[in-house]
Amino acid sequence: MASALSDRLSRIVKEMRGQARITESNVTEMMREVRMALLEADVALPVVRDFIARVKEKALGQEVVGSLTPGQAMVGIVNRELAATMGQGVADINLAAQPPAVILMAGLQGAGKTTTTAKLAKHLIEKRKKKVLTVSGDVYRPAAIEQLKTVTAQAGAEWFPSTPDQKPADIARAAIDYARKHYFDVLLVDTAGRLAIDEALMREIQELHTILKPVETLFVVDAMQGQDAVNTAKAFSEALPLTGIVLTKTDGDSRGGAALSVRQVTGAPIKFAGVSEKLDGLEVFDAERHAGRILG
Ligand code: GDP
């Protein structure tokens, strides 16, 4: 388990007692442990390599200050770098736009987009007192449109109808028009996902982005995808200016590494974590707490 990292490091810390400086071999030994722990947490290999390189650079030759031992100083460096990579504090949804503030949901099929759309609707209604409209641009799966209708009603929001014979771009224009006329604060746009990255899908969501000019473009990703999340995240962040990430199904993932990978690859903050299938199973993501979870 990844939670052993603190224990592993403290063993090395003990061996380093009495030293005044961090030596190269101390760093090498510690980095081996950090590397193992991150890989066990299912962080993607290239992300682990970058992370280790940054910590190494900061640690080498560092003078040890005050009452810290070199080992404690190293643990501090690892902790700070992890927190810095994960992002600091919490980042809620940005609604600073001429209403309706549009939130575009992107991600693969099965990632949890539709569920998260309804969870966000509920969050915005209950916590931010907003009037929320949802719409589905998934014209390929009529069941997906119906699913959004059902969960939107459960969330207490309003659903804008769409049908499989429409073009996603036309649906987007009609929904934003309706939202404007009826004074909605927020329009949540669920989109079609595929099972894998697909060029036509990317072009379609780019077109939606151009039409909708969303204040938030959220990439929804399944935490259980682990290392595979990196490739998906890379493709979506190259296609769209992502403003945030929602990490779903964290309740089924004990390792936590996808957060670090996805965050580093996209540079976008993780704003929410899905913690259950239920509509209240959405938490504002706490980067520091999650970093602590990976480190143990
Ligand atoms: P979409 O294809 O991206 O729209 O994905 P769905 O919203 O249909 O979600 C796919 C499955 O994942 C459904 O069975 C959801 O109930 C489930 N799901 C979504 N988010 C979470 C979560 O945070 N935790 C758990 N345990 N299940 C989730």
ipTM: 0.99
By most ligand atoms within 8 Å of CB, the mutation choice from 104, 105, 108, 115 for ligand 1 is: 115
Say how far residue 235 (Cα) sits from the centre of its chain.
Answer: 14
Ligand 1 neighbourhood includes 283 CB (under 6 angstroms): no
Q: 262 is written with which tokens?
A: 């996805």
- The interaxial angle of helices 70-86 and 257-266, nearest 10 deg, is 60
Ligand 1 neighbourhood includes 117 CB (under 6 angstroms): no
d(CA 10, CA 6): 6
pLDDT of residue 3: 43
Among residues 246, 260, 285, the alpha carbon closest in space to that of 84 is found at 260
User: What is the CA(37)–ligand 1 centre distance, in A?
Assistant: 28
- Residue 282 contacts residue 119 (beta carbons within 8 Å): yes
Ligand 1 neighbourhood includes 109 CB (under 6 angstroms): yes
Q: Ligand 1, atom 16: nearest CA belongs to which residue? A: 277
pLDDT of residue 226: 81
Residues 189, 193, 194, CA angle at the centre, nearest 5°?
Answer: 170
User: What is the CA(190)–ligand 1 centre distance, in A?
Assistant: 13
Beta bridge partners of 104: 189, 217
What residues contact 280, with CB distance under 8 A and at least 6 apart? 119, 122
Ligand 1 neighbourhood includes 111 CB (under 6 angstroms): yes
Residues 262, 241, 42, CA angle at the centre, nearest 5°?
Answer: 5
Ligand 1 neighbourhood includes 277 CB (under 6 angstroms): yes
Atom of ligand 1 at shortest range from CA of 115: 7
Q: Look at the block and give the residue holding tokens 């509509």.
A: 279
Q: Ligand 1, atom 22: nearest CA belongs to which residue? A: 249
pLDDT of residue 63: 63
- Tell me what the pLDDT averaged over the chain comes to: 89
d(CA 224, CA 275): 12
Among residues 187, 195, 248, 252, the alpha carbon closest in space to that of 219 is found at 248
Atom of ligand 1 at shortest range from CA of 138: 4
Ligand 1 neighbourhood includes 112 CB (under 6 angstroms): yes
Distances (CA, A) of 245 to 60, 62, 79, 173, 287: 33, 35, 22, 25, 12
Ligand 1 neighbourhood includes 257 CB (under 6 angstroms): no
Mean pLDDT across the stretch 36-50? 90
User: What is the CA(97)–ligand 1 centre distance, in A?
Assistant: 29
d(CA 192, CA 144): 8
Ligand 1 neighbourhood includes 72 CB (under 6 angstroms): no
The SS3 call for residue 108 is coil
Ligand 1 neighbourhood includes 281 CB (under 6 angstroms): yes
pLDDT of residue 88: 72
Note the pTM of the prediction, 2 decimals.
0.90
pLDDT of residue 64: 59
Reported as a single tens digit per residue, the pLDDT across 224-254 is 988 888 999 999 999 999 999 999 999 988 7
- pLDDT over 70 at 106, yes or no: yes
- Residue 227 contacts residue 45 (beta carbons within 8 Å): yes
How sure is the predictor about 185, in pLDDT bands with cuts at 50, 70 and 90? very high
**DSSP 8-state class, residue 62:** P
Strand locations in 137-215 (E): 158-160, 186-190
